[in-house]
Amino acid sequence: MPRAQPYDRDAALDAALTLFWRKGYYATSLKDIEAALNMKPGSIYAAFNSKETLFGLTLERYFRKQHADFVSTLKAAASPLQGLADYLRRFARLPLDDPQRSSCMLVKTLLGATEQDAKLGELAGQYIDQMIAEMAAAFEQAKQLGELPGEADAAHLARRYQADLTALGFEASRRISREELAVSAEELAQKVEAMRVRQT
Amino acid sequence: MPRAQPYDRDAALDAALTLFWRKGYYATSLKDIEAALNMKPGSIYAAFNSKETLFGLTLERYFRKQHADFVSTLKAAASPLQGLADYLRRFARLPLDDPQRSSCMLVKTLLGATEQDAKLGELAGQYIDQMIAEMAAAFEQAKQLGELPGEADAAHLARRYQADLTALGFEASRRISREELAVSAEELAQKVEAMRVRQT
DNA sequence: GGGAAAATTGAGTGATCACTCAAATGTGAC
DNA sequence: GTCACATTTGAGTGATCACTCAATTTTCCC
């Protein structure tokens, strides 16, 4: 009776991503995964090596999406600083039931990781560092375009920007209204825009 | 052979607090708890009703400590705004191996809670709301003392302050140096102080 | 000191955990 | 058409999960 239809790896990973994002690594059981991917244990272990490997793949997937999203927002903006501000404002426009409102998966993973099973936490940390590096590159570019003063510390600004983003994501995960979230996002966005050197 | 010595409830709860704070609810097993509290399962269930109840008690304990800490910092300060700024700066002075550096337990619990087992998340959320209410009271007091302009929105300022604190705690949980953390804390503290209305 | 109450003990409960593998079946080369 | 291979299947693995309880020992009142 076996061999129903070959699984769709992309769809499976998307389903696993949604599941892990919602429930986290530890609270997600193989039963949950079987149901979400519509796969039996054997298939799951043939396709991915273990629960941990599968989680790692979904984490990478999540990172790629976030990263691509950030990069494209920056590219679409008139300037680096404008792009950084726009990216913050986008948060406020997310619908209340959007999965993004359940806080950044990287942050959840980092905070949820224990020291004896440190691999996942370290992985999440590395991805966050890559995001920070991308943000630092944007601030650096702003410097070279004369948007920021030459003495600005791009690395520090990037760390603070990422921290603000984390805090905003945390606010979003609470039960606050869209208006309140929009106000917070607007404040942070204006803080970024206020860094701009008045030119001529 | 039973009846070694009666357990010390305060010491047991402190040990449980440290354990749950580090590992989180799901990743902590009863075996871990038995070892940390030096109690056998029967005693644990006689003293506390369940793992969940025990976690609830430790969460309350954590909240009480944080709350008392916040209130005493405010009382020791020359003014409400000064106290709020001081509380932020204290973060930077924490040693690298302090348990406080492993991020706020309330935040970790809230982010780690799943929707089907929502009780713990809601509890953490309520405690966070109480902290925010305490912060709002401080901003309100600052208004009435003329430290803040009359049109200031204490509730909003409190939410933003709490978000900043969360972001700072997240930065602290990463591998950043004490100096970097101090710079971030100083920035946030000065942001609070900058709200002060210049009087005469 | 004697006896009832209180409290700890730790082996053991069924359930669930992540995971395995022999069997069954679809797939593609020839 | 046939056969070798790749892949799915799902019952079943031992381990560990949160939790229970009869037995045992200490405490404390008299």
Cβ atoms of residues A173 and A101 within 8 Å: yes
pLDDT number for residue A2 = 45
pLDDT number for residue A118 = 86
pLDDT number for residue B1 = 47
Cβ atoms of residues A1 and A49 within 8 Å: no
- Chain B residues touching A97 at Cβ < 8 A: none
Q: Give buried/exposed letters for A82-103 (b at 16+ CB in 10 A, else e).
A: bbbbbbbbebbeeeeeeebbbb
pLDDT band at A8 (very low <50, low <70, confident <90, very high): confident
pLDDT number for residue A72 = 97
Going from the C-alpha of B160 to that of each of A190, B83, B102, B136, B198, the distances in angstroms are 14, 16, 21, 10, 22
* pLDDT tens column, A150-162: 999 999 999 999 9
Task: Report the pLDDT averaged over residues A13-21.
Answer: 95
A117 shares contact with chain B (CB less than 8 Å): yes
* pLDDT tens column, A64-94: 999 999 999 999 999 999 999 999 999 888 8
Token pair, residue A190, equals: 């204006």
Q: Which nucleotides of D are covered by protein (CB under 7 A)?
A: 6-12, 16-27
pLDDT band at A114 (very low <50, low <70, confident <90, very high): confident
Q: Which class would CATH give B58-193?
A: mainly alpha
Chain A to chain B, count of Cβ pairs less than 8 Å apart?
85
* Helix/strand/coil (H/E/C) assignment for every residue in chain A: CCCCCCCCHHHHHHHHHHHHHHHCCCCCCHHHHHHHHCCCHHHHHHHCCCHHHHHHHHHHHHHHHHHHHHHHHHHHCCCHHHHHHHHHHHHHCCCCCCHHHHCCHHHHHHHHCCCCCCHHHHHHHHHHHHHHHHHHHHHHHHHHCCCCCCCCCHHHHHHHHHHHHHHHHHHHHCCCCHHHHHHHHHHHHHHHHCCCCCCC
pLDDT number for residue B4 = 52
Q: Do B180 and A167 touch (CB under 8 A)?
A: no
In the 40-99 segment of chain B, residues within 7 Å (Cβ) of strand D are: 40-42, 44-46, 50-52
pLDDT number for residue B30 = 96
Q: CA–C1' distance B34–D14 (Å)? A: 23
In chain B, how long is the greatest CA-to-CA distance?
Answer: 75
Q: Do A26 and B26 touch (CB under 8 A)?
A: yes
Q: Which CATH superfamily is domain A56-193 in?
A: Tetracycline Repressor, domain 2 (1.10.357.10)
The gap between the terminal CA atoms of chain A, to the nearest Å, is 76
Domains of chain B: which residue ranges? 58-193
A43 touches strand D (CB under 7 A): yes
Q: Which residues touch strand C (CB under 7 A)?
A: A 1-3, 5-6, 28-31, 40-42, 44-46, 50-52; B 1-4, 6-7, 39-43, 46-47
pLDDT number for residue A78 = 96
Q: Is the pLDDT of residue A200 over 50?
A: no
pLDDT under 50: residue ranges of chain B:
1-3, 200
Token pair, residue B74, equals: 């405010």
How many whole angstroms separate alpha carbon A73 and alpha carbon A66?
A: 11
How many whole angstroms separate alpha carbon A77 and alpha carbon A69?
A: 13
* pLDDT tens column, A144-196: 999 999 999 999 999 999 999 998 988 888 867 888 899 999 999 999 999 99
Q: CA–C1' distance B197–D3 (Å)? A: 88
- Chain A residues touching B103 at Cβ < 8 A: 111
pLDDT band at A120 (very low <50, low <70, confident <90, very high): very high
Identify the CA nearest to B111 among candidates A56, A24, A63: A24
Rounded to a whole number, what is the distance in Å from the CA of A8 to chain B's nearest CA? 27
Give the count of alpha carbons within 13 A of A168, CB side only: 26
